C-alpha cells in the first residue's frame, strides 16, 4: 500500500511508519519540524493549507493516517486560535484533499472528547469535552468519513520529536532518583504506541469505516500506571508520590475518568488491544 502519515516523526506516526516500511508498504512520512526516521520524508505543515492539498494530490496515497496535531493540552487552552487552525482547519483541508485523491482517511482522535464523568466510554457515547484541546479534536472528527480512531495517553519505549512520553518520564525520573508527583484520581486506558500502530495499520488495510476505540484494554489510574512501570524495571516505588488533580497547576481542565471501552476493537480486529500487563511485557522487550 501507499501510505501517507501526518506527524510521521511523532510517537505514533513514527511507529506506524516503522511497521509499515518493514512489511513492504510505500511510506511517506509527513513532518513540520523534526525529520522522520522511517519512510520517505515529506514536508507537511498543518498551517500550510495549500501545501497540504498539493502534497496529497501529488502523492495520491491509498491510505492517509492523520496523526499530527497540537496535543499540548494547556497550550491549546492558552493559544486557542493556533489550536483551531492546526487541529480543526488543518484536518478539514486534509479531509477535503483525501476525498479528491480517493484516499481512505484514518483520523487519530482522543479520549479527551469526553468529560470523564463516568469512564469506560463506548464509541456511540455522547461527547462533551472539558477543554479546548478536546473540543478541537471533536470538531476534527466531524470532517472524517473514513475511520475515527480514538486513543488514550500514548506511550512508548523511545522519545519522539524531542518529546518524552508519560512512561519514559516516569522511567527517566526514577532512574535519576527524582521524586515524581502522579495523580491518583485520574483514570485512563494508556496505550502502547506499537500496539496502536499495528491496530491502525489493520484498520487501513481493511478500510474499516466508522469509529473505533483503539487504546489499552485496562482502565487504570495514572498513579497505579506509574507504579506498574516502576515495578517492571525494578525502580524505586517510594519515589512516586501520590497527589490529586486539584493539586496540579494545569491551565486546562482534565477529565477524571476518560477510560475507553475497547470491546469493539477486541471483537473485530486481529490486532487486539493490550492489557496493561501485556503492554508492559512488550514495552520491556522493546526497551531492551
Q: 103-148: per-residue pLDDT in tens? A: 999 999 999 999 999 999 999 999 999 999 999 999 999 999 999 9
CA–CA dist 140, 112 (Å, integer): 13
CB atoms within 10 A of CB 14: 27
CA–CA dist 256, 26 (Å, integer): 40
Structural domain span for residue 177: 2-287
Return the pLDDT at 287: 73
Q: What mean pLDDT is reported for the chain?
A: 96
Cell output for 165: 512520553
What CATH number is given to the structural domain containing 46? 3.40.50.720
Cα Dmax for the chain: 55
What total of structural domains would you count in the chain? 1
CA–CA dist 156, 282 (Å, integer): 10
Instruction: Please give the DSSP secondary-structure letter assigned to residue 85.
Output: I
Asked if 40 and 183 touch (Cβ cutoff 8 Å), the reply is no
pLDDT at position 288 over 80? no
Q: 248-264: per-residue pLDDT in tens? A: 989 999 999 999 999 99
Closest to 114 (Cα-Cα) out of 189, 226, 217? 189
Q: 215-232: per-residue pLDDT in tens? A: 999 999 999 999 999 999
Cell output for 261: 471501552
Give the predicted TM-score (pTM) of the model: 0.96
Amino acid at each position: 500500500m501507499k501510505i501517507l502519515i501526518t506527524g510521521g516523526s511523532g510517537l505514533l506516526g513514527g511507529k506506524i511508519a516503522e511497521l509499515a516500511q518493514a512489511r513492504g508498504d510505500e511510506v511517506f512520512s509527513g513532518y513540520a519540524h523534526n525529520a522522520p526516521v522511517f519512510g520517505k520524508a515529506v514536508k507537511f505543515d498543518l498551517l500550510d493549507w495549500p501545501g497540504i492539498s498539493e502534497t496529497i494530490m501529488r502523492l495520491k496515497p491509498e491510505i492517509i493516517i492523520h496523526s499530527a496535531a497540537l496535543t499540548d493540552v494547556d497550550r491549546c487552552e492558552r493559544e486557542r486560535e493556533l489550536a483551531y487552525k492546526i487541529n480543526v482547519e488543518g484536518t478539514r483541508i486534509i479531509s477535503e484533499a483525501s476525498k479528491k485523491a480517493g484516499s481512505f482517511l484514518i483520523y487519530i482522535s482522543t479520549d479527551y472528547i469526553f468529560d470523564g464523568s463516568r469512564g469506560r466510554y463506548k464509541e456511540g457515547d455522547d461527547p462533551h469535552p472539558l477543554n479546548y484541546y478536546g473540543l478541537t479534536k471533536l470538531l476534527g472528527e466531524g470532517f472524517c468519513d473514513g475511520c475515527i480512531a480514538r486513543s488514550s495517553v500514548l506511550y512508548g519505549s523511545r522519545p519522539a520529536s524531542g518529546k518524552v512520553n508519560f512512561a519514559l518520564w516516569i522511567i527517566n525520573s526514577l532512574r535519576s532518583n527524582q521524586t515524581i508527583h502522579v495523580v491518583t484520581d485520574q483514570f485512563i486506558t494508556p496505550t502502547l504506541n506499537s500496539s496502536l500502530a499495528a491496530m491502525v495499520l489493520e484498520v487501513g488495510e481493511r478500510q474499516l469505516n466508522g469509529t473505533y476505540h483503539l487504546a489499552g484494554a485496562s482502565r487504570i489510574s495514572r498513579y497505579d500506571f506509574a507504579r506498574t512501570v516502576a515495578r517492571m524495571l525494578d525502580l524505586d516505588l517510594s519515589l512516586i508520590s501520590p497527589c490529586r488533580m486539584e493539586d496540579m497547576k494545569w491551565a486546562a481542565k482534565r477529565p477524571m475518568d476518560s477510560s475507553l471501552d475497547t470491546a469493539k476493537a477486541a471483537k473485530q480486529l486481529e490486532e487486539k488491544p493490550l492489557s496493561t500487563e501485556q503492554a508492559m511485557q512488550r514495552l520491556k522487550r522493546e526497551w531492551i
